[in-house]
C-alpha cells in the first residue's frame, strides 16, 4: 500500500524498462547491481556517479518491486532535492561525511521532519511532527539522503499475540524478497526486505526483542542491535525504555557499521546515552577486517539451538568457518532460563509500553494527538476495526492498559529479576566463566509462510538474552535452507560492539556474506 507521493508509470513494462536502464547506467558509471557504500563513494569521488542519479535508481527500483513486497510505506518528498543539494556541495569541493549521498530508509516509527510517522497505525496517519529524531539529524549531518519510510509490523508488533509480522493498517503486508509467500519477520520488516531487494542502500530498524535481528536474518542481510544507550531513542515511537534501540540494517557488515557510527551519539533527552563508553564511535569502522576472528574465544550457545536440524547444520558449518578463520571455539555453553523469566520480561514490557507510549503521545506537537493515550488508541481500533483489526485483535494493548504506574512493586521486581537473569546470571556470567569474547547462536529459523489468520509461526530464536539485558547483538547471513536465508547471531557484553564487529567482519569474509534474492515474482 503506497502513499500518493510515488510517481505513476503507465505500465509494468515501463517500470521494467526504467529499472533496466538505471541498472545499465549504474554499470557504466562504475557500480554493481548490489553496491555498497565504499563502491558508491568511489564512483562519486571519481565523478562517475551523482547522488541524484543514485536516488533516481533507488526510486525506480522501489516503484518496480514495491507493489509485490510492500516494503516501503512512502518516499520522502524531498529525497531528490536532498540529493541535488549534496551534489552541489560536492561540486564546490565539500564532502559532507561518511554517508555522503547514500540513501537511507527509515522504519516508520522514527520521526522525520518531512513525513508523518505512523507506526503503521491509522491513528497516527497525520502524525507529521515537523522534527527529526536525533539519530536522523545525525544521519543528515553525515550526508545521508533520507529516502523514505519503511513498512513495519504495526506498533512494532506489540498490539496482538496473533499478529502477522510485517502487517500494518497503513502499509499492508510486507513480503520476503526471497519468496513473497513467506514472512519478512518483524517488526522492522520493510527495512530488512528493502535492503535485501536493493530498494535502498541502507536501512534502519528498531528492536525491543528481535525486531532488528529477526528480519535481518529472514531477509539475508546484516542487522546490528546495539547496546541500549548507544543510539538516542528520542522521537521514536516506543515500547520499552529498558530495551528499545534503533539499529542499522545493510547488505554487508561494513555498511552496517558505517551506518551505526553515523547514527549513534549522546542525547540529553535520553538518559541512557549518558552511559555510553568513551571510545570514539567514529572509529568503529577501524574494527572491520578479514582477520577479525584471529585469537577470539567464541562460545556456542547450544541452549538457543536445536529447534531445526537444517539450522543446526548451518551452525556447524559456521563454527567450522570460524575455526578456519582463527577463532577458538568453546562449545556447548548453556544458559539456564530461570523459571518465570519470560513472564517477568513480558510484564516489564506491558508496564513500560503503557508509560512510555503515553509519554510519547503527550509530547506530540499536534494537540489532537497529544491529548490521546493508550486507552484512546484502544477505542480508535474498536471504532476502526474493519481497517485496523481485520486479521488480529489488540489484546496486548488491553493487557498493557490494565497495568499501573512504574512505581508498582510488581514492575520493579520483574525488571530487576529479568535483567539479573540476562546480565549477571546471563551474558556476563557466561563470558567470565568461559573466558569468552562473544557468544554465537542461530538467529532463528528460515522464514515461515505468511498466515494472516493464525499469525506468525516462530519455532526458535536467540534474541531474548541480548534484548532483555540491553546488550549488543549482530546478525549476519550464515547460509540458506531451500533458498531462504538464516542468520548467525553474535552477542556479548554491554558496549562490546568493537569486538563483535571484528568477529562479524571476520566471519563474513570466511563464510561469504550476502547472497541476493532472484526477485522472480509471479
- The Cα-based distances of 40 to 24, 351, 435 in angstroms read 15, 45, 40
Can you tell me whether residue 157 is helix, strand or coil? helix
- Do 265 and 273 touch, CB atoms closer than 8 A? yes
Whether 212 and 223 have beta carbons less than 8 Å apart is answered as yes
Query: Which of these, 27, 32, 26, lies nearest to 55 by C-alpha position?
Result: 26
- 3-class SS at 449? strand
Q: How far is CA 421 from the centre of its chain?
A: 25
Block residue for cell numbers 499469525 = 455
3-state secondary structure of 49: coil
Output the DSSP codes for 251-282: SSHHHHHHHHHHH----TT-GGGGG--SS-GG
What's the burial of 453, exposed, middle or buried (CB within 10 Å: 0-12/13-18/19+)? exposed
Q: Which residues are catalytic?
A: 107, 187, 211
Quote the CA–CA distance of 240 and 183 in Å, as a whole number: 25
In sequence order, the 6+-apart residues with CB closer than 8 A to the CB of 25 are 53, 57
Residue 316: which of 511, 81, 137, 108 has the closest Cα? 511
Which grid cell is 467?
Answer: 534484548
Distance between CA atoms of 295 and 297, rounded to whole angstroms? 7
State CA 92 to chain mean position distance: 35
**Euclidean distance between CA atoms 383 and 44, whole angstroms:** 51
Amino acid at each position: 500500500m503506497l502513499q500518493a507521493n510515488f510517481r505513476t508509470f503507465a505500465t509494468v513494462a515501463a517500470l521494467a524498462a526504467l529499472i533496466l536502464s538505471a541498472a545499465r547506467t549504474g554499470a557504466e558509471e562504475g557500480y554493481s547491481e548490489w553496491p555498497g557504500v565504499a563502491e558508491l563513494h568511489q564512483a562519486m569521488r571519481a565523478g562517475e556517479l551523482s547522488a541524484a542519479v543514485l536516488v533516481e535508481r533507488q526510486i525506480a527500483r522501489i516503484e518496480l518491486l514495491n507493489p509485490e513486497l510492500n516494503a516501503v510505506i512512502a518516499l520522502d518528498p524531498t529525497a531528490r532535492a536532498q540529493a541535488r543539494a549534496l551534489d552541489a556541495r560536492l561540486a564546490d569541493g565539500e564532502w559532507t561525511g561518511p554517508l555522503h549521498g547514500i540513501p537511507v530508509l527509515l522504519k516508520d516509527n522514527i520521526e522525520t521532519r518531512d513525513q508523518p510517522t505512523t507506526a503503521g497505525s491509522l491513528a497516527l496517519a497525520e502524525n507529521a511532527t515537523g522534527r527529526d529524531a536525533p539519530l536522523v539529524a545525525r544521519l543528515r549531518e553525515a550526508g545521508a539522503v533520507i529516502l523514505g519510510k519503511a513498512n513495519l509490523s504495526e506498533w512494532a508488533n506489540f498490539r496482538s499475540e496473533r499478529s502477522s509480522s510485517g502487517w500494518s493498517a497503513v502499509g499492508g503486508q510486507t513480503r520476503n524478497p526471497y519468496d513473497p509467500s513467506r514472512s519478512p519477520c518483524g517488526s522492522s520488516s520493510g527495512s530488512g526486505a528493502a535492503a535485501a531487494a536493493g530498494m535502498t542502500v541502507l536501512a534502519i530498524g528498531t528492536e525491543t526483542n528481535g525486531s532488528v535481528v529477526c528480519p535481518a536474518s529472514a531477509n539475508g542481510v546484516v542487522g546490528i542491535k546495539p547496546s541500549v544507550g548507544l543510539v538516542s531513542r528520542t522521537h521514536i515511537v516506543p515500547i520499552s525504555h529498558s530495551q528499545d534501540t534503533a539499529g542499522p540494517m545493510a547488505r554487508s557488515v561494513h555498511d552496517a557499521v558505517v551506518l551505526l557510527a553515523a547514527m549513534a551519539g549522546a542525547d540529553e533527552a535520553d538518559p541512557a546515552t549518558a552511559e555510553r563508553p568513551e571510545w570514539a564511535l567514529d572509529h568503529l569502522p577501524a574494527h572491520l577486517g578479514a582477520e577479525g576472528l584471529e585469537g577470539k574465544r567464541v562460545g556456542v550457545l547450544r541452549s538457543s539451538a536445536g529447534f531445526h536440524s537444517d539450522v543446526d547444520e548451518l551452525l556447524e558449518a559456521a563454527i567450522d568457518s570460524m575455526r578456519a578463520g582463527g577463532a577458538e571455539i568453546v562449545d556447548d555453553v548453556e544458559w539456564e532460563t530461570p523459571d518465570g523469566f519470560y513472564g517477568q520480561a513480558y510484564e516489564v514490557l506491558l508496564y513500560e509500553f503503557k508509560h512510555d507510549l503515553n509519554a510519547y503521545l503527550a509530547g506530540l506537537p499536534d494537540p489532537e494527538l497529544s491529548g490521546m493515550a493508550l486507552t484512546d488508541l484502544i477505542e480508535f481500533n474498536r471504532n476502526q476495526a474493519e481497517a485496523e483489526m481485520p486479521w488480529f485483535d489488540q489484546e496486548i494493548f488491553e493487557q498493557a492498559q490494565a497495568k499501573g504506574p512504574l512505581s508498582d512493586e510488581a514492575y520493579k521486581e520483574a525488571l530487576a529479576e529479568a535483567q539479573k537473569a540476562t546480565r549477571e546470571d546471563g551474558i556476563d556470567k557466561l563470558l567470565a566463566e568461559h573466558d569468552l569474547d562473544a557468544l554465537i547462536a542461530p538467529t532463528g529459523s528460515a522464514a515461515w509462510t505468511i498466515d494472516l489468520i493464525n499469525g506468525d509461526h516462530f519455532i526458535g530464536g536467540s534474541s531474548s538474552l541480548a534484548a532483555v539485558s540491553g546488550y549488543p547483538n549482530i546478525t549476519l547471513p550464515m547460509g540458506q535452507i531451500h533458498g531462504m536465508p538464516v542468520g548467525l547471531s553474535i552477542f556479548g557484553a554491554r558496549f562490546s560492539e568493537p569486538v563483535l564487529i571484528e568477529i562479524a567482519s571476520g566471519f563474513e569474509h570466511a563464510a561469504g556474506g550476502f547472497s541476493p534474492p532472484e526477485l522472480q515474482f509471479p
